[in-house]
């Protein structure tokens, strides 16, 4: 489906809206057909009802009242006919409502799933440029709005049939009566289309503004700690107020515009009835039409007074659906998809060697964060990545886990380019743990296994190695304790250790730790790292480290400055040959000693 451009004419709104509905209908034909069938049966029931009324008028009411005929024998068939039509109509309404509801909510789910699936396949660089509030608004509000047109559509299509049926019937009654009805109904539909086109641009603005409001609210909730700590609540409320006042104003304006049109439509309907009555009376007088016919025509028009607004509703919903669908479509069309090859992982085949061949990378075009990085890490080695803040350590580890792709050069594990692996294969070989790993609203065990199929012993073993077992057993329900969204009830160090256990249980061939134990006590950190080294782990370990005690545990150190690998060697040798490295490590040492003193 191509991105629709902003429709400017009535034709475009209706055309694109019908195409949108058509697309949805093709995806779920059964409920769509049933809903339209229900609406058609409903229209049929109404027309039948008008015929029954006309027939009852001509054969029962008029003869009994004016001709003084006995009513015996005439009442029962009349009652049965009226009842039958009523049941027919009720069944049609039930069918239409159920099918239309099912269609709407299933389609909404389809669109949302497709959107989320597509988003999860996109690169982190795309995510980095998005506002989370906007993405939330698109996934929630816009998918709902885009499919909202499906709710009134079947009814409106039934009503359209009804309008056509009514006008045709009026012509059968009498040409002049038919003409009045035709002109009247055409006028109503014209006003309705105008209404939808007029409110269309306003809708676009409303939806954009909704994204902004969600964005601001999301940011204030996300930064609740900072907001409270710095006493910025009022400022945040004011920020939200400005945006939501703008939103409220837009909605109110659109609404009043809309209501104006509705008033016009609701006054037009009785006016049409009146005109039909006058013309009809004249024609009955002239003997050109029967009173019953005119009564059934008026009955139909009366019944149409409310449903005719449905056409306006559906146009209104179309006008709202189109910009929402466009926002959804914009995301669906982002093609910054991560490309995958066909290589399979080889889990369980021991630690893997890692190599970087002249890797350069920048987050934005024309920026350089990593510059011609060459790395050669033999299988099973524990390597520390050390360098000043901002030198590119985190960036390098993310590239090694293929969270980003290098701008030029390549990264290999086991001699194979990371990009040559099939989707979902690489995470079976490489585990990446960052400083702020995300915890899900699940149990401790669930956060470690992430839905994987592991035995209890494996979970405990991973937790022991990550230094987490002890505090976990002290939680109210041990491994079955729910830890809430983002693990709010745990300390930073505890969260980090659960994240580490999550990586270890996968027995990765390459384990990458980006400052993953920064919030853990230095002594506990050293203990964890020592366990990792002595355990018979199938992993090559690459860790970004600051504490001298941790750096010394590594077999080798990669020293980075300004996005370049300056040297790769043992800690002792680097202390001797690299003055920058020696200065940095000494600064870390002093810092550690200072902390130890103030802690006492
Ligand atoms: P380190 O981990 O060594 O402190 P980083 O790899 O985090 O360094 O950052 C290296 C450089 O890249 C810094 O100049 C930083 O500002 C920049 N940088 C990091 N992350 C991003 C990002 N997502 N977008 C743009 N620039 C970034
Ligand atoms: Mg970092």
How far is residue 394 CA from its own chain's centroid? 29
Share of the chain above pLDDT 70, in %: 97
Give the global pTM. Answer: 0.76
Average pLDDT over residues 526-538: 81
pLDDT for 295-351, tens place per residue? 888 888 887 877 787 887 888 788 888 888 998 999 999 998 888 999 999 888 889
Q: Is the pLDDT of residue 237 over 70?
A: yes
- Residue 560 Cα: closest atom of ligand 1: 3
Q: Say if ligand 1 is within 6 A of residue 563 CB.
A: no
* 339-429+510-600 to CATH, choices 3.40.30.10, 3.40.50.1820, 3.40.50.300, 3.30.200.20: 3.40.50.300
Q: Would you say domain 28-332 falls under CATH 1.20.1560.10?
A: yes
d(CA 409, CA 309): 63
Answer with the residue of higher pLDDT: 542 or 204: 542
What ranges do the domains of the chain cover? 28-332, 339-429+510-600, 439-507
Give yes or no for a contact between 313 and 156, defined as CB atoms under 8 angstroms apart. yes
Q: Do domains 28-332 and 439-507 have the same CATH topology?
A: no
- Lowest mean per-residue pLDDT among 53-67, 223-237, 468-482: 53-67
Res. 549 pLDDT band, cuts 50 70 90: confident
Buried b (16+ CB within 10 A) or exposed e, 266-279: eebbeebbebbbeb
Residue 130: per-residue pLDDT = 86
DSSP letter string over 521-552? -HHHHHHHHHHHHHS----EEEEE--SHHHHH
Q: Is the pLDDT of residue 113 over 90?
A: yes
Q: Among 126, 130, 360, 363, which residue has the most ligand 1 atoms within 8 Å of its CB, making it the best to mutate? A: 363
Residue with the smallest CA separation from ligand 1 atom 21 is: 363
Q: Which fold has domain 439-507?
A: Rossmann fold (3.40.50)
Average pLDDT over residues 261-273: 88
d(CA 354, CA 412): 6
d(CA 61, CA 371): 96
d(CA 390, CA 424): 30
H-helix or E-strand spanning residue 598: helix 579-599
Q: Is the pLDDT of residue 290 over 80?
A: yes
Tokens representing 68 are 């003084």
**Range list of H helices, 223-307:** 224-229, 233-285, 291-304
**How far is ligand 2, taken at its centre, from the CA of residue 544, in Å?**
8
Which residue is associated with the tokens 């289309």?
A: 193
**Environment class of 343 (CB within 10 Å of its CB; exposed 0-12, middle 13-18, buried 19+):** middle
């Amino acid at each position: 489906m191509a991105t629709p451009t902003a429709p400017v004419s009535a034709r475009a709104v209706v055309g694109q809206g019908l195409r949108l509905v058509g697309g949805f209908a093709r995806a779920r034909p059964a409920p769509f057909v049933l809903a339209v069938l229900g609406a058609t049966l409903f229209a049929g029931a109404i027309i039948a009802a008008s015929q029954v009324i006309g027939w009852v008028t001509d054969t029962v009411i008029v003869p009994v009242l004016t001709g003084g005929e006995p009513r015996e024998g005439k009442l029962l068939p009349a009652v049965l006919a009226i009842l039958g039509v009523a049941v027919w109509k009720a069944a049609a309404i039930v069918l239409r409502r159920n099918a239309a509801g099912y269609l709407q909510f299933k389609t909404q789910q389809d669109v949302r799933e497709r959107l989320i699936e597509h988003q999860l396949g996109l690169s982190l660089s795309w995510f980095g440029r998005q506002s989370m509030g906007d993405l939330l608004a698109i996934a929630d509000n816009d998918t709902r709005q885009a499919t909202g047109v499906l709710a009134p559509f079947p009814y409106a299509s039934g009503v359209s049939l009804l309008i056509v049926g009514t006008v045709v019937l009026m012509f059968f009654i009498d040409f002049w009566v038919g003409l009045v009805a035709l002109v009247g109904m055409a006028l109503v539909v014209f006003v309705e289309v105008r209404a939808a086109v007029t409110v269309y641009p306003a809708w676009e603005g409303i939806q954009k503004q909704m994204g902004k409001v969600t964005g601001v609210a999301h940011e204030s909730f996300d930064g609740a700690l900072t907001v409270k700590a710095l006493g910025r609540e009022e400022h945040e409320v004011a920020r939200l107020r400005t945006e939501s006042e703008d939103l409220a104003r837009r909605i109110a304006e659109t609404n009043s515009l809309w209501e104006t049109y509705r008033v016009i439509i609701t006054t037009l309907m009785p006016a049409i009835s009146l005109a039909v009555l006058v013309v009809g009376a004249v024609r009955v007088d002239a003997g050109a039409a029967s009173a019953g016919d005119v009564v059934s025509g008026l009955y139909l028009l009366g019944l149409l007074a409310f449903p005719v607004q449905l056409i306006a509703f559906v146009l209104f919903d179309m006008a709202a659906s189109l910009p929402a669908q466009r926002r959804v479509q914009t995301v669906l069309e982002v093609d910054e998809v991560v490309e995958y090859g066909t290589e399979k992982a080889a889990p369980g085949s021991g630690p893997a060697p890692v190599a970087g061949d002249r890797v350069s990378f920048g987050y934005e075009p024309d920026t350089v964060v990593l510059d011609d990085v060459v790395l050669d890490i033999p299988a099973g080695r524990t390597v520390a990545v050390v360098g000043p803040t901002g030198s590119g350590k985190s960036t390098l580890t993310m590239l090694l886990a293929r969270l980003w792709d290098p701008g030029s050069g390549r990264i290999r594990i086991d001699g194979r380019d990371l990009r040559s692996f099939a989707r979902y294969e690489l995470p079976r070989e490489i585990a990446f743990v960052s400083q702020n790993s995300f915890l899900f609203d699940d149990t401790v065990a669930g956060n470690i296994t992430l839905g994987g199929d592991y035995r209890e012993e494996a979970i405990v073993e991973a937790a022991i190695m990550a230094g987490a077992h002890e505090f976990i057993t002290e939680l109210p329900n041990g491994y079955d304790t729910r830890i809430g969204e983002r693990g709010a009830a745990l300390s930073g160090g505890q969260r980090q250790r659960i994240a580490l256990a999550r990586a270890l249980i996968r027995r990765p061939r390459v384990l990458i730790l980006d400052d993953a134990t920064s919030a853990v006590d230095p002594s506990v950190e050293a203990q964890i790292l020592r366990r990792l080294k002595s355990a018979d782990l199938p992993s090559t370990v690459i860790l970004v480290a600051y504490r001298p005690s941790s750096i010394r545990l590594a077999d080798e150190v990669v020293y980075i400055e300004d996005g370049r690998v300056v040297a790769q060697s043992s800690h002792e040798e680097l202390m001797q040959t690299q003055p920058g490295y020696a200065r940095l490590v000494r600064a870390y040492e002093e810092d550690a000693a200072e902390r130890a003193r103030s802690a006492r």
